[in-house]
Amino acid sequence: MITEHDERTVLNAVPDRLLIGGEWVEASGGRTVEVMDPATGEVIRTIADASVADGVRALNHAVAAQQSWGSTPPRVRAEILRGAFDLLQERKHDLALLMTLEMGKPLAEAYGEVAYGGEFLRWFSEEAVRIDGRYGSTPEGTGRMIVTHRPVGPAYLITPWNFPLAMATRKIAPALAAGCTMVVKPATLTPLTTLALADILVTVGVPAGVLNVITTTDTIELSDALISDPRLRKVSFTGSTPVGVTLLKQAADNVLRTSMELGGNAPFIVFDDADLELAVDAAMTAKFRNIGQACTAANRFIVQQGIADRFADAITERVSALNVGRGTEPGVDIGPLIDDRVVRNSSRLVDDAVSHGAVLRAGGDPIDGPGTFFQPTVVDRVGDGMLLATEEIFAPIVGIRRFVDEDDAVRIANDTPYGLVGYVFTSDSNRAHRMIDLIDTGMMGLNVGVVSNAAAPFGGVKQSGMGREGGHEGIHEYLETKYTLMPAP
Ligand code: NAD
């Protein structure tokens, strides 16, 4: 049982200032910004609100620290990351509660994110010492080629509000492992977890200037200043596709390296031959994890005619039993949405579908305040052109549409500008392999509803982004390849 005293203790322990050059400092001009609990609408903490000048100062420190951090032995960088992993485990109760308080996810899910997010620190501590190169002869035999990897240089890392810990570690850990310094800008809606993570990293010995953290409401101005600065060498962004497109255009001016983890519109395809119970269990996780606010959330349930009624009945029964409330309360399955804007958008999507002939099977409405809650919802018989079939939903809303055969399923699944992840449920392994080839996404879940793993390359195709985070690929987002030729001895 979480008490008010527990909450206050955890909140008060979070640094409320900017991390610049190894010091926790006030924003120049003394501006502050309030952080709210979306379950109550109450202010839980007031933190520094950086100016553009603070951002530039942070970049100055990152630039100054680059040479020395880049030449720090990989083993030393690895041990710092491993130390951070260990300290994060010690502080897991605080971090989980903090995330629930600022973002709203149920406490059990917040613990899940601490485990997942922490793994990036451990994984990249292991990858830091495996940055390798190659040595070989030219085909003519007259020369020797040496290929090495060097850190890209100072990086600007921008994270979203929905996974405040994991989205930060997924960028910070590979950047540190590769030898890059950085300015991190968490989402202003959920900055506390990232500040608590920065405190861990400083405590375990990340040197001054290597990691700088800036919280600001001047997002656009500060980003403009950093991205147009020729000393910056890399932008890594996780967030919505429209913002990603803007950043890519800005980054083009200085030909910056970029990594983009953008929006999703995941198909969740259930074939007639699927194990129904398994598909429904996975659907509940794929849809309702993080209150539906995940880029990997199942967005479009595409179900074959022969199983569709049974699937819709089973999921409606499960959804109707979900418990909505503040994430700190025992037994809560669904917390609040992040803000009013998301609640209004949820109503817009449901109203559009119902007015075009879809059938509302459960929920469908906002829940009266305090807090920004929406009923877990099932809408059946979603059809072409409805917003539920085209837009990223980002809410606890299941929209079900039906398909006739495999070709039909593939056509519907790929009919989107996004391509992050696809889920397929079938007991036919040949069909499963065909789907891997035919569904146009960066990731696939076959008979599973969650794919994220620190050891795997996370990322999308089409407008879901470019680059991969995690896996062996993740560190290469922060490394340049350098080739040297010398005469054969
Ligand atoms: P968002 O794009 O509004 O904001 C993301 C971050 O960018 C925040 O830190 C925000 O302050 C900052 N930002 C906003 N406008 C900016 C600008 N003009 N210049 C620079 N920075 C700017 O997204 P959000 O609402 O925080 O997150 C939800 C979106 O993120 C969804 O589309 C979701 O699919 C996507 N997402 C993708 C992944 C992935 O790995 N592909 C993971 C999580 C979330």
Residue with token string 């010995």? 205
d(CA 3, CA 147): 57
d(CA 471, CA 359): 42
Atom of ligand 1 nearest to the CA of 186: 9
Give the fold, CATH level 3, of 266-446: Aldehyde Dehydrogenase; Chain A, domain 2 (3.40.309)
pLDDT in tens, 78-94: 999 999 999 999 999 99
Establish whether residue 168 lines the binding site of ligand 1, counting it when its CB lies within 6 angstroms of any ligand atom.
no
Measured in Å, residue 128 CA sits from the centre of ligand 1 at 28
Atom of ligand 1 nearest to the CA of 263: 34
CA nearest to 150, candidates 245, 70, 205, 82:
70
Establish whether residue 254 lines the binding site of ligand 1, counting it when its CB lies within 6 angstroms of any ligand atom.
no
Burial of 366-395, coded b for 16+ CB within 10 Å and e otherwise, reads beeeebbbbbbbbbbbbeeebbbbbbbbbb
pLDDT in tens, 463-479: 999 999 999 999 999 99
- The predicted pLDDT at position 202 comes to 98
Establish whether residue 332 lines the binding site of ligand 1, counting it when its CB lies within 6 angstroms of any ligand atom.
no
Please answer whether residues 100 and 110 qualify as being in contact, where contact means their C-beta atoms are separated by less than 8 angstroms: yes
Measured in Å, residue 237 CA sits from the centre of ligand 1 at 7
Catalytic residue among 127, 261, 392, 477: 261
Q: Whose CA is nearest to atom 41 of ligand 1?
A: 261
pLDDT in tens, 158-204: 999 999 999 999 999 999 999 999 999 999 999 999 999 999 999 99
- The predicted pLDDT at position 304 comes to 98
- The predicted pLDDT at position 423 comes to 98
Dihedral of the alpha carbons of 168, 170, 173, 174, in degrees to the nearest 10: -140
CA nearest to 124, candidates 480, 459, 466, 473:
473
Q: What ipTM was assigned to the predicted interfaces of this complex? A: 0.95
The residue to mutate among 47, 163, 192, 240, having the most atoms of ligand 1 within 8 angstroms of its beta carbon, is 240
Helix (H, G, I), strand (E, B) or coil at 332: coil
Measured in Å, residue 159 CA sits from the centre of ligand 1 at 6
Measured in Å, residue 239 CA sits from the centre of ligand 1 at 2
Establish whether residue 250 lines the binding site of ligand 1, counting it when its CB lies within 6 angstroms of any ligand atom.
no
Q: Are strands 377-380 and 359-362 parallel, antiparallel or unpaired?
A: antiparallel
d(CA 6, CA 12): 10
Please answer whether residues 213 and 198 qualify as being in contact, where contact means their C-beta atoms are separated by less than 8 angstroms: yes
- The predicted pLDDT at position 1 comes to 85
Residue with token string 């001016």? 253
Establish whether residue 238 lines the binding site of ligand 1, counting it when its CB lies within 6 angstroms of any ligand atom.
yes
CATH 3.30.530.20 fits 4-262+464-481, yes or no: no
The residue to mutate among 169, 262, 289, having the most atoms of ligand 1 within 8 angstroms of its beta carbon, is 262
Dihedral of the alpha carbons of 47, 53, 56, 58, in degrees to the nearest 10: -30
Mean pLDDT in each 10-residue stretch from start to end of the chain (489 residues)? 94 98 97 98 98 98 99 98 98 98 98 98 98 97 98 98 98 99 98 98 98 98 98 98 98 98 98 98 98 98 98 98 98 98 98 98 96 98 96 98 98 98 98 98 98 98 98 98 97
Is residue 261 annotated as part of the catalytic site, yes or no? yes
The residue to mutate among 215, 265, 295, having the most atoms of ligand 1 within 8 angstroms of its beta carbon, is 295
- The predicted pLDDT at position 190 comes to 98
pTM for this entry: 0.98
Tokens of 105: 């996810």
CA nearest to 475, candidates 66, 118, 129:
129
What are the sequence ranges of the domains in the chain? 4-262+464-481, 266-446
Helix (H, G, I), strand (E, B) or coil at 448: coil
Establish whether residue 245 lines the binding site of ligand 1, counting it when its CB lies within 6 angstroms of any ligand atom.
no
| Phi/psi at 474 (5° precision) | -60, -35
List 401's β-bridge partners, or say none: 302
Atom of ligand 1 nearest to the CA of 465: 41
